[in-house]
Structure 1
Amino acid sequence: MGYDAARIEVLEGREAVRKRPGMWVGSTGERGLHQLVFEVVGRAVNEVLATGSGTVDVTLTSDGGVRVADNGLRGTFEAPDAGDTGGPGLEALLTSMRAGPGPAGRHIVAVGHVGGGLFVANALSSRLKAEVRSEGVRRAQEYARGAALAPPAAVGPASDSGTTIAFWPDAEIFETTRCSFAVLAERFRQVAFLNRGLAISLTEERPAGAARTVQFRFPDGVRDFVAALDAEAGASLHPDVIGFEREDPRMAGTMEVALLWSGSREERVRSFANSQATPQGGTHVDGFRDGVATAVTAYARARGLLKAADPGPVADRIGHGLTAIVSVKLDGPEFLGPTRGLLGNAEVRACVGEAIREHLGTWFEEHPERAAEVVGRIVRGIHQC
C-alpha cells in the first residue's frame, strides 16, 4: 500500500494538543500534570510581577481541581487597546495557540520548562473556569476540554482586581490527576526566592479536614536562599552572607549572587537562568568560579598567605564549605541540550567573573577578620595536599 498526501493527518488547535499531550507538557504522568499547573501559575506570577509585587495563591481543591488566583492589575478577557503593552487578552490565551505563552526576556519568569501557555492547560483540562476582576466587576467564562461554553459575561461585583483560573486536569489524558504538594511547594519556594516582591502560597484542601498551607515571600531574595540552604545543612559557623546585584549591558541582563563559607566540607552551589534551574551549570557558574578563585588568590598573595611560587587556590578547595546561589536574568538566554539545564551565553562568563572578583575583593577588604579566616582556611587546605 502506498503512502501519499492523503495519508497525512494534520491536526490543529486543541485537537493537536490532546492527540499528543506529551509534546506539550512532557508526559502524561505526574511530571506532565505538574507542568500543567506551572503553565497557569507562570501567567499569574508574571501578572503580579509586572506591577513590581503581588500575591499568587494556588489551591489544590478537594474535588481534584487546581485554583490559581492573583491580584494583578492587568487582567482582561479582551485584547488590550492599541498601544497597550499588556499582551493578548485572557480569552485569546485560553483559545489560541497563536496567542502564545507570552513574551520572553529577563523580566519574564518561566515557572515550568515547556512554555505551552494557557492554551495547552485549557486543552488538557476536562473543565476550566476563568474569572477576571476589574473596575468593580467580576466577569467569568467556562470551558470544556478547551472549548468555550459561552462568551465572557458579568457575574457580579468585584471588590478587588485580579484573575482566578480553576481547572480540572483531564483524567482521559493523565495517568494521575493528583498533584504532589511537596513538588509544587519546592518549585514555588524557588520562584519566590529568585523574585523578590512575589508572595506565593500553596494550599491543599484534600483530604477533607486536613487542609495545609505554605506561604513563601523572601524580601532579601537569593541572600535568603543561601541562608536557607545553609540552615538546612546545619553547617554555618557565621551568619555572614555576601551578596550583590548588578546589571551588565554586555550580557543584556542582570545577575544576583549570594554566597557564604561555613565549617562544612560540602559545596552547595545552585544556579538559575531566568528563574529556571540549570543543574548542569553553564557560563554563569564558570564565571562565578573564575571570580571567586581570582579574588581569593589576589587576597592571599597580597597578605603573604601564598608565596610567588605557590599555586593559586584550586576549585575544589575554594568550594569546601561554600554555599552559593548564582542567578542571571537575560533578554536572550541560550540553553544547551534538550533539558535546558546548561546555560551557553558566552559573554555571561566574563561579566559574572568580573563582578564576583570586584565585589568579593571589596568584601575581603571591609571584613579583614572574616577574610583572613576564610582565605586562610582555603590556603591551609592547599598546603596540606
Structure 2
Amino acid sequence: MGHSTAKLSLDDFPEPEQVVRLRAQLLEWYGRMGRDLPWRRTRDPYAIWISEIMLQQTQVKTVLPYYQRWLIALPTVTDLADADLETVLKLWEGLGYYTRARNLHKTAQAIVKEHGGVFPETARQLQVLPGIGRSTAGAIASSAFGRCEAILDANVRRVLGRLLAVDDPPARAEAKLWEISQRLVDPQAPHNFNQALMDLGATVCTARSPLCLLCPWQADCLGRRSGEPTRFPVRPARTVRSEIAGVSVLIECQGKFLLVRRPERGLLAGLWEFPFVESVGGGEPEETVRMAFGNRLESLERLGQVEHEFTHRHLTAQVLWARWAATLDELPDCIEHREHAWVAPEHWPEYAMPAYVRKICRLQCLQ
C-alpha cells in the first residue's frame, strides 16, 4: 500500500509506509497553503492557550482582534491571574460562551498558585485545569512544547471521519477518531501536523462543500470515494432551540439607569444587563413589568424590540423605558438581593454586557 492511490480501511490502518506518506502529503500542503496566524509565530504556552480557548466554537476572523487586544492588556499568565474578573469579562465581551473567560481566569490563578506561574507541559497535566479538555490540551502540548499529542476539534473530527468513512454514531466514533488522530500525528513535527489538520478542515474539507480536488489526501479518502463525503462523520442529532421571551426595562433615575449582574452560574454568568422579566401567558409588556416592579415605575414607553441567537436559545426582548418614582436606594424585591448599579449612559461601555444588551444600548441611543 505504498503507492498514492492505496485505499485506506480502518481494519488494517495504519501501515507504516501509508502513515509516512499521509504525513508527508499533509505537511507539504501545509507548507504551501497553511494560514499565517499570530499564535503560530510563538511557542509561548500562554499565548497559545488563549488562542485555543478563543477558537473554541468561534471563527478565526472573529478571534483575531480579540486575541491581539487580550495580549496587549494581559500579556502574561500572571497578569491574567492578578486581573479582576470584570476586566477579563470586558476583554471577552462579544465572543460569547462566557464560561470560557471565567475558566481562563480560574486556570491562570491555578497555574500561578500551584505551578509557580509555569505552564504544565504534558496534555495529562493540562487537562486537570479548568476549561482545558483533551483536544485543547493536545494542541497546547504539541504547539508550545513539541509533544507528540493528538487533537480532535470539530475540523479534525470531520477530516479524519471522511478519510476513513467513519459512519458510527457520534459517541461510538469518538474513540475511533481519537485513535486515528494519535496514530497519524507526526512525532517529528507535531505542531505543524496538528495545525495542518485544523487548516485542512477549515479551508478544504469544509462541512457542506468540501473542495476535494484541492485536498492532499484525496486519493486515499474513503469519504470522497463514496461519492458522499458530507455524510461522514455522522453528526449528533440537532438540539431543539428553546425560545426566551420577555421584557428588558431601562429604569431611569436622576439621569442614571439600573444595571443588574447576572448570577455567577448559568447563561451569561456574571455579565451586566438591564432588568429582564420573562413573559408569562403572553401579556402586554407594560403589564409584565408592572407585575414585577409594582407602582414605582412611571411614564412607561416602548423603545422597540431586540432579538438574539444563542447556541440553543432564541431571545426576543421587548424594550421599555420607565422613570423610577423612588430613590436610588429603594429597590424592588426582585432586584435588591442582586448585585446592581445605577449607571449613566456614558459609562455603560465600562461594564461587561452580553451582545443582546449592547443592542438595547444602541436602541436607547437612537431615541
The normalised TM-score by structure 1 is 0.24
User: Larger strand proportion, structure 1 or 2?
Assistant: 1
The normalised TM-score by structure 2 is 0.25
User: Larger helix proportion, structure 1 or 2?
Assistant: 2
